[in-house]
C-alpha cells in the first residue's frame, strides 16, 4: 500500500482549495456578531441590512469550518450554508464506513472525503493547515461520543448537532476537557426559541401541568435512526411542569404513507422533515393544549449551525470562562440570524 503522505492523503498540494473567504471576528466595541451576509474578504465589512446593530467587523482571523460528514444529508446542508455565508469551508471531511465518493462538490468547494478510520491523520493535517478550525458534527448517534472525545483529544472546538448517543457522557467529557463546544439537538432559531420558552415556563411554574396526560408524536424521514432529540428536550421541560412521561413513550412515525395521512407531511418533503406534536389533556379531560412545530427541509438547522460556529469562535477569542453551550445560549447571546 502506498505510504500516506500529505499529498496522497488529500490528493492535492496544500495550496489548492484554500479559499479566500475569511470569517470575521468582532472588533472591539462591537457587542454582537452582526449578520446579513459574509460575502467578501475586505478587511472591514459593514452590514447595511442591520443598520441599527451594524458595526465594523475586523477580518483579524481565519476561522475555518470543517463539516463531518459533508456527504450526509445534514452535513451537506451545513456545508452549503457555510459557503453561502462566505465563510471558509475546510475541503476535507470524515465519513462513516462504506465510502461512496472520494470527492464531493459543495458549491465551488471540492471536499475530500475520508473514512473515519483515517481520522487521526486527516485531522492532524487539517489542524496544521487550518489553525483555529471549528468542527460541525452531523454524523450518527452511534458516533457521537467517540467523535466528541476525538475532537477533545485534539483540542478542537466543535458544534455537536448530531443527536443521540450517551448525552450525559458527552456533556461530561466536554466539561472535563475545557474544550469549547455547542451541543444541541436543535439548531433552528424559532424551534430553539420554543424550547427556551418551555424551559422558562418549567422554571417559573414547576408542576403547573401536574396530572396532565401527554402524547408526543414526531415524524422524520425514514432514514432517521433515533427518537427526536428535540422531542426529548421538550419532554424534559414537561417533566418539570409535573407531567409524568418517559422518552420511550414518544411515538416515532417513520412510515411515509403514515407521514402523509396522519401527520400531514407534504409528499415532496418525505425525505427531509421534522414534524412534532405535543398534546396535553387535563385529568378530567376538560382542558387540552396542543403544541406543534413542523419543519420541512434543513435550511434552518444549517443556518443555525453557522450561527453556532460563529458564536463559538467568539467565545474562543474572548477566552470565555464558560466552555459548554447549547443553542439557547447562542440565541440569548444574540448570535442567531
Ligand X SMILES: O=C(O)C1=N[C@H](C(=O)O)C[C@H](O)C1
Ligand Y SMILES: NC(=O)C1=CN([C@@H]2O[C@H](COP(=O)(O)OP(=O)(O)OC[C@H]3O[C@@H](n4cnc5c(N)ncnc54)[C@H](O)[C@@H]3O)[C@@H](O)[C@H]2O)C=CC1
| Cβ nearer to ligand Y, comparing 34 with 71 | 71
Tell me: does residue 121 bind ligand Y (CB under 6 A).
no
Exactly one of 112, 119, 189, 220 is catalytic; name it: 220
C-beta closer to ligand X: residue 217 or 228: 228
Q: Report 304-333 residues binding ligand X (CB under 6 A).
A: none
Considering the complex, state which of residue 55 and residue 328 has its C-beta at the smaller distance from ligand Y: 328
Q: For the CA atoms of 322, 328, 334, 336, what is the dihedral angle to 10 degrees?
A: 120
Q: How far is the CB of 189 from ligand Y (least distance, A)?
A: 10
Site for ligand Y in 293-332 (CB under 6 A): 301
8 A C-beta contact, residue 335 and residue 310: yes
Q: Is 230 in the site for ligand X (CB under 6 A)?
A: yes
Site string for ligand Y, 209-248 (x = CB under 6 A): --------------x-----x-------------------
Active site residue 224: yes
**In the bound complex, what is the minimum distance in angstroms from residue 260's beta carbon to ligand X?**
17
Question: Does 186 participate in binding ligand X (rule CB under 6 A)?
Answer: yes
Q: In this chain, which of 36, 37, 132, 141 binds ligand Y, going by CB under 6 A?
A: 141
Query: How many angstroms separate the CA atoms of 327 and 92, rounded?
Result: 26
C-alpha cell at 36: 446579513
User: Looking at beta carbons only, is 22 or 220 nearer to ligand X?
Assistant: 220
What is the 3 state secondary structure string of 15-33?
A: CCCCCCCCCCEECCCCCCC
Of 112, 114, 119, 224, the catalytic one is: 224
In the list 64, 67, 69, 276, the residue contacting ligand Y (rule: CB under 6 A) is 69
Residue with the shortest CB distance to ligand Y: 72
Alpha helix segments (H runs only) across 205-255: 229-240
Residue 165 lies near ligand Y (rule: CB under 6 A): no
Site size toward ligand X (CB under 6 A) is 9
220 is catalytic: yes
Provide the minimum distance between the beta carbon of 233 and ligand X in the complex, in angstroms, as a whole number: 8
Distance of closest approach, residue 113 Cβ to ligand Y, in angstroms: 9
Q: Is 86 in the site for ligand X (CB under 6 A)?
A: no
**Closest residue by Cα to residue 42 from 27, 63, 21:** 21
Q: Are 158 and 148 in contact (CB under 8 A)?
A: yes
* DSSP-H helix ranges across 85-166: 119-129, 144-153
What is d(CA 52, CA 334) in angstroms, rounded to the nearest whole number?
Answer: 14
Q: Where are the alpha helices (DSSP H) in the chain?
A: 6-10, 73-84, 119-129, 144-153, 167-177, 189-204, 229-240, 256-261, 299-318, 327-332
Q: Are 63 and 91 in contact (CB under 8 A)?
A: no
Cα–Cα dist 52/14, whole Å = 41
Within positions 205 to 224, which residues make up the interface with ligand X, using CB under 6 A? 220, 224
CA distance 130 to 240: 43
Contact 30, 56 (CB under 8 A): yes
- 160 touches, from ligand Y, ligand X, none (C-beta below 5 to 8 Å by class): none
Q: Does 254 bind ligand Y (CB under 6 A)?
A: no
Bond from prior residue into 319 cis (ω within 30 degrees of 0): no
* Among residues 158, 185, 240, 277, the one that binds ligand X under rule CB under 6 A: 185
Catalytic site positions? 220, 224
The contact set with ligand Y (CB under 6 A) reads 68-69, 71-75, 94-96, 116, 138-141, 143, 147, 161-164, 184-187, 223, 229, 301
Binding site for ligand X (CB under 6 A): 163, 185-186, 220, 224, 228-230, 274
Amino acid at each position: 500500500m502506498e505510504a500516506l503522505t500529505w499529498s496522497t492523503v488529500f490528493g492535492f498540494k496544500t495550496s489548492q482549495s484554500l479559499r479566500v473567504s475569511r470569517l470575521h471576528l468582532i472588533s472591539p466595541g462591537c457587542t454582537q456578531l452582526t449578520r446579513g451576509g459574509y460575502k467578501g474578504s475586505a478587511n472591514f465589512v459593514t452590514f447595511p441590512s442591520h443598520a441599527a446593530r451594524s458595526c465594523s467587523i475586523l477580518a483579524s482571523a481565519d476561522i475555518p469550518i470543517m463539516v463531518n460528514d459533508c456527504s450526509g444529508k445534514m452535513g451537506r446542508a451545513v456545508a452549503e450554508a457555510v459557503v453561502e455565508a462566505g465563510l471558509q469551508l475546510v475541503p476535507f471531511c470524515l465519513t462513516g464506513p462504506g465510502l461512496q465518493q472520494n470527492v464531493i462538490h459543495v458549491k465551488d468547494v471540492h471536499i475530500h472525503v475520508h473514512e473515519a478510520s483515517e481520522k487521526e491523520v486527516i485531522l492532524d493535517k487539517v489542524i496544521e493547515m487550518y489553525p483555529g478550525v471549528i468542527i460541525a458534527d452531523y454524523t450518527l448517534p452511534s458516533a457521537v461520543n467517540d467523535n466528541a472525545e476525538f475532537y477533545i483529544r485534539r483540542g478542537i472546538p466543535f458544534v455537536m448537532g448530531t443527536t443521540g448517543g450517551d448525552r450525559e457522557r458527552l456533556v461530561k467529557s466536554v466539561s472535563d476537557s475545557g474544550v469549547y463546544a455547542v451541543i444541541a439537538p436543535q439548531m433552528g432559531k424559532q424551534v430553539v426559541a420554543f424550547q427556551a420558552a418551555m424551559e422558562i415556563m418549567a422554571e417559573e411554574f414547576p408542576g403547573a401541568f401536574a396530572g396532565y396526560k401527554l402524547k408526543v408524536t414526531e415524524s422524520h424521514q425514514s432514514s432517521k435512526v433515533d427518537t427526536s432529540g428535540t422531542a426529548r428536550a421538550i419532554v424534559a421541560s414537561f417533566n418539570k411542569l409535573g407531567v409524568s412521561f418517559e422518552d420511550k413513550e414518544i411515538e416515532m412515525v417513520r412510515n411515509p404513507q403514515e407521514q402523509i395521512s396522519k401527520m400531514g407531511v407534504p409528499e415532496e418533503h418525505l425525505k427531509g422533515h421534522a414534524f412534532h406534536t405535543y398534546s396535553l389533556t387535563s385529568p378530567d379531560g376538560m382542558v387540552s393544549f396542543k403544541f406543534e412545530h413542523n419543519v420541512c427541509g434543513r435550511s434552518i438547522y444549517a443556518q443555525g449551525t453557522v450561527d453556532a460556529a460563529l458564536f463559538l469562535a467568539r467565545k474562543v477569542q474572548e477566552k470565555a470562562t464558560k466552555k459548554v453551550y447549547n443553542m439557547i445560549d447562542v440565541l440569548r447571546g444574540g448570535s442567531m440570524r
